[in-house]
Amino acid sequence: MGNKTPLYGKHEALGAKMVDFGGWDMPINYGSQIEEHHAVRFDAGVFDVSHMTTVELHGTEVPGFLDRLLANDFTRLTRPGQAMYSAMLQEDGGVLDDLIVYDTGEPYLMVVNCATREKDLNWMNQVAENFDCTIKERSDLAILAVQGPNALEKVTATISDAQAAAMSELKLFQGTWTEGWFIARTGYTGEKGVEVILPADEAPAFWDRLLEADVAPIGLGARDTLRLEAGMNLYGSDMDETVTPFESNMASTVFMEGRDFIGADALKTRQSDQQLVGLVMPGKGVLRAHYKVFSNGREVGEITSGAFSPTLQQGIALARVSETSADMSVEIRGKQNPVECVEPPFVRHGKQVYKPKEN
Amino acid sequence: MAEFPTDLRYLATHEWAKLEDGVVVVGISDHAQDALGDVVFVELPEIDSTCSAGDEVAVVESVKAASDIYAPVSGTVTEVNSNLEDSPELVNESPFADGWFFKITPDDPSAIDTLLSAADYQVVCEEEH
């Protein structure tokens, strides 16, 4: 048996189909994955993401530590509690993980992936040796993400007046501590919403209040199609230690100028023709990870994440390729299927937004 | 709990088959549709194509995976359920009726008797867990 989140009993009571996810017993769906997907696009849904690793950064030199650790520039943040998405790189420029860090002041708050927990903590502890910075894991906390066009309204009805007031002040990509909970306007779906980090023993009651407010429980299956439609990478599928952020559609999160972060030197010299692009299949069918991608009849790469998009009603994918063109296709069961190469995201706020990629 | 209608025959690969007016109707079981999750696409065989028992003749794609569908008997495909093109969810909603896949005119109508009974197929499903 794997690790269990504080909401494991809630998932079981709802009849969720449970799967192993990075050593955790997590709900893949509570019935129909597609209905869950639509609930988030058109109303509101709640995800238990307590398997993710929350860490606190203590010490007087945390900003300096983060400036060395991360490819994105923590010193550019201007608002208190502002969130920053960044890659953490090896010396050779390969992506160790992607993460969110909040500019809360000490102790700073960071959330990293669960499958990379041990690797991340070892690496951060090693880098922190050169700074007045200590890393403290907060496994006593749960994380619930509430996402969808009606998410903020529904969350407001389930939290205290003080918490609701604090939440209403938040801008997109900003978080704040309020009465022992950290509420942030972040997410992994391309919809409005919040991620709430709270004491594990308070999570089941919050979950119940959300369900009473007609927020739908959403499993990891819909989480994956939602994030893919939103053009967001999944670590371990769309990028890993073998590729750089430039090869992973993450160039906008890398700030090189005047900085000396780990991996920066390698990024300056490492040559590559690889890029992560979006694919849309006009014909019927489903795109899936590891299908081969062709340009002008020549194999140029493979799909890293693929799915049937419930919003667009067609196959969509992220693919790492060495070439794009107007004549691209994906091989499915030995047959070539024409695809359009696009720039992610595919969907934002429930609407199709992708643009054709210029070759 | 999945249903196992006793008037049908089954393959260990989760297809069901039923002889109706000399034609074998084929679909996937309730157990199979539940394991697959939401079905989003079904690739059906060509009408008039011939097949041998055990041939991969169709593909069902769910949110989770692509799975081959095997011919339960040898014969000729005479009809496919074209409703599945626009409504693949019929496979989830009605696996034993509206969600049927295709019909085969069998070379030997008695071949269906060699397939699993509902009770034997249920044992196969239980052993998977």
The full set of domain ranges for chain B reads: 9-107
Token output for A165: 């007031």
On the 0-12 / 13-18 / 19+ scale of CB atoms within 10 A, A315 is: buried
Interface size A-B, in CB pairs within 8 Å, comes to 33
pLDDT (tens digit, 9 = 90+) per residue, A22-55?
A: 999 999 999 999 999 999 999 999 999 999 999 9
Q: Do B39 and B62 form a contact (C-beta atoms < 8 A)?
A: yes
pLDDT of A358 reads: 78
The CATH code that applies to domain A273-356 is 2.40.30.110
pLDDT of A279 reads: 98
pLDDT (tens digit, 9 = 90+) per residue, A114-126?
A: 999 999 999 999 9
Whole-complex ipTM: 0.89
Does the beta-carbon distance from A221 to B37 stay under 8 Å?
Answer: yes
The CATH code that applies to domain A8-49+139-229 is 3.30.1360.120
Domains of chain A, by residue range, sit at: 8-49+139-229, 54-137, 273-356
Q: Please say whether the structural domain B9-107 has been given the CATH code 1.10.10.10.
A: no
Residue in B37, B40, B85 nearest the CB of A286: B40
Does the beta-carbon distance from A286 to B41 stay under 8 Å?
Answer: yes
pLDDT of B128 reads: 82
pLDDT of A251 reads: 97
pLDDT-derived band at B28 (thresholds 50, 70, 90) equals: very high
Measured distance CA(A51)–CA(A141) in Å, rounded:
10
Q: Give the DSSP letter of residue B63.
A: S
Fold of A54-137: Alpha-Beta Plaits (3.30.70)
Q: Do A90 and A55 form a contact (C-beta atoms < 8 A)?
A: no
The parts of chain A modelled with pLDDT lower than 50 are none
| Stated pTM of the model | 0.95
Query: A187: helix, coil or strand?
Result: coil
pLDDT of A277 reads: 98
Q: Give the DSSP letter of residue A200.
A: G
pLDDT of A171 reads: 97
Residue in A17, A28, A333 nearest the CB of B59: A333
**Average of pLDDT values for B113-127?**
96
Question: What's the whole-number average pLDDT of chain B?
Answer: 96
pLDDT-derived band at B101 (thresholds 50, 70, 90) equals: very high
Measured distance CA(A274)–CA(A261) in Å, rounded:
22
Helix residue ranges, H only, chain B? 30-36, 83-86, 90-93, 118-128
With tokens 């050593």, the residue in question is A23
For residue A330, the chain B residues in CB contact (below 8 A) are none
Decide if pLDDT at B32 tops 80. yes
pLDDT of A275 reads: 98
With tokens 């495909």, the residue in question is B77
